[in-house]
Structures are given as structure tokens and as C-alpha cells.
């Protein structure tokens, strides 16, 4: 997130700062229905929102979106504030602004983690901190033994509360040469060599006669026996066997 937040074309570094007296006077006016006072009060308290947004800079979220969520919380606080209570507006507004930001960050996460798993994860973090203070070797096994739970449960709970990362996140950058996370991922089933072989196979199959294609489909995709195929296609089992062998030889010749 950026140090300077620009929202709706407004540089927040230039936002006004209201005195306590100005805040009290504007609050009375806006509660009486003064639209201009309401707008001035909102703008005058955006610095409060910005100060709270800074707490979430470590989160991988868009600064503008987080700031807007905080502004929603600010407006809710203004609408619900009771001037007769006798507390400062900022005291009342801060929890509402933080709540709105946290709600945005939680709802904006595509992964939904159950409360029980989160509770387990937080207990695990406490145990890990306790073991670290004792200068012990902190491993999943050590945590699991301390909590009397399975190692897999420890791993699962910690993974569940971890922030997801993008495949386009840089993991190395030197002299303008950036290495992305996706560059470190290898799939043995879907590399260039496999794709080339598949393309050659499909091209070879395309050259077969329709009846040979059908026999190979029934034999290797549907797993039928030669006897079953002979009944379905209307030829003898010997003919099915011969056509299958011929088709496989043609495919092998095309690929080789």
C-alpha cells in the first residue's frame, strides 16, 4: 500500500484538520440537517480514517478500497453518533471505522475459514510463541505434541489463515531481471514436452479412418473389450483386433 492515498482525485495529504471546537459545532449543525456542515465534517475526519488505514499496510489489499471502506465506517459513525452522550466523536468513530475495514478485508477474501479452524490456528500461534521463548526447536511435531493434536491438523490450520499469494508475485529481482513465483512451479504432466507429444498424437489420430478412430475410442477411452466392440461395430472380433493393431502402427509411425 502507498504512503500517500489518493481517492476520487483527492490527495489525502492535503486534507484539512478540524479543531475540537469546530468538530462540535459542525456536529450540531449536521444533526440539524445542514448538508454543507455534514460534508465538511466528513472531509475534516478523513485524516482519522487515513491514520487507521495505515495499520493495514501489511495486508495485500488495494489502498483506495481500504480507505473507502474506512470512509463508509466514518459515515456510519456520523449517522449513529449521539451528541448527548458526552464522548468525543473520534472515541466513538474509531471502532466503527476499524470494523468496516476489517469487514471489507474479510469479505474480500475468496477463502472462507471456519471459526473453529481460526481458533485452532490462533492457539497454535500461542503455543509456537511459548516454545520459541523457551528456545526450543519449534516444529509442527513439537506444536502437535504440546497441544495433543495431529501434525496434519497443525499444518492445515496454519495454512488456512495464511494470506494467499499471486502467481505473479516476484520472488527475485536483480538488475531488472524479475523472477516470478509461477516461474518456480513445475508440472510434470503439463510441460512443453508433454504438450508436444499430445499434439502429435491428436494429429496422428486425425489421419485414421472413422471406423479405426471409433475402435480406438471404444477400446482405450471407454475400456471395452474387443468382443464388446465387435458387437457394437458389427464386425468380427478378429477384424477388430486387426484394425486396432493397424491403427496403433499408423499412430506410432506418425509420432516417431
> What pLDDT, on the 0 to 100 scale, is given for residue 18?
85
> What pLDDT, on the 0 to 100 scale, is given for residue 86?
79
Tens digits of residue pLDDT in 21-45: 898 899 999 999 999 999 999 988 9
3-state secondary structure of 134: coil
Tens digits of residue pLDDT in 216-250: 888 888 888 889 999 988 999 999 999 999 989 88
Structure-model confidence comparison of residues 194 and 2, the more confident one = 194
Residue 235 DSSP label: S
Structure-model confidence comparison of residues 141 and 188, the more confident one = 141
CA 180, CA 227: separation in Å to the nearest integer?
Answer: 53
Distances (CA, A) of 227 to 167, 223, 231, 235, 236: 49, 12, 7, 10, 8
Backbone angles phi, psi at 190, to 5 degrees: -135, 45
Decide if 170 contacts 180 (C-beta within 8 A): yes
> What pLDDT, on the 0 to 100 scale, is given for residue 1?
42
* Interval 120-139 mean pLDDT: 82
- pLDDT > 50? residue 101: yes
**Does pTM top 0.85 for this prediction?**
no
> What pLDDT, on the 0 to 100 scale, is given for residue 239?
92
CA-nearest of 20, 28, 31, 67 to 47 is: 67
pLDDT band for position 184 (50/70/90)? low
Amino acid at each position: 500500500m502507498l504512503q500517500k492515498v489518493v481517492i476520487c482525485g483527492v490527495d489525502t495529504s492535503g486534507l484539512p484538520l478540524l479543531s475540537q471546537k469546530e468538530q462540535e459545532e459542525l456536529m450540531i449543525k449536521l444533526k440539524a440537517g445542514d448538508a454543507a456542515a455534514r460534508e465538511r465534517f466528513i472531509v475534516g475526519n478523513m485524516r482519522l480514517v487515513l491514520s487507521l488505514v495505515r495499520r493495514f499496510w501489511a495486508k495485500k489489499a488495494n489502498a483506495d478500497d481500504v480507505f473507502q471502506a474506512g470512509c463508509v465506517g466514518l459515515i456510519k459513525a456520523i449517522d449513529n453518533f449521539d451528541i448527548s452522550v458526552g464522548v468525543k466523536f473520534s472515541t466513538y468513530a474509531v471502532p466503527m471505522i476499524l470494523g468496516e475495514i476489517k469487514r471489507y478485508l474479510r469479505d474480500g477474501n475468496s477463502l472462507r475459514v471456519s471459526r473453529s479452524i481460526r481458533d485452532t490456528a490462533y492457539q497454535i500461534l500461542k503455543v509456537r510463541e511459548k516454545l520459541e521463548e523457551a528456545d526450543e526447536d519449534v516444529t509442527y511435531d513439537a506444536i502437535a505434541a504440546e497441544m495433543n493434536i495431529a501434525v496434519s491438523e497443525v499444518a492445515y490450520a496454519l495454512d488456512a489463515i495464511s494470506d494467499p499469494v499471486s502467481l505473479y508475485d516476484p520472488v527475485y529481482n536483480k538488475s531488472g531481471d524479475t523472477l516470478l513465483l509461477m516461474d518456480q512451479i513445475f508440472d510434470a504432466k503439463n510441460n512443453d514436452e508433454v504438450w508436444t507429444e499430445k499434439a502429435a498424437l491428436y494429429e496422428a489420430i486425425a489421419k485414421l479412418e472413422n471406423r479405426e478412430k471409433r475402435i480406438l475410442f471404444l477400446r482405450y477411452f471407454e475400456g471395452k473389450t474387443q468382443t464388446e466392440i465387435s458387437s457394437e461395430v458389427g464386425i468380427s472380433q478378429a477384424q477388430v483386433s486387426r484394425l486396432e493393431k493397424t491403427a496403433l502402427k499408423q499412430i506410432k509411425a506418425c509420432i516417431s
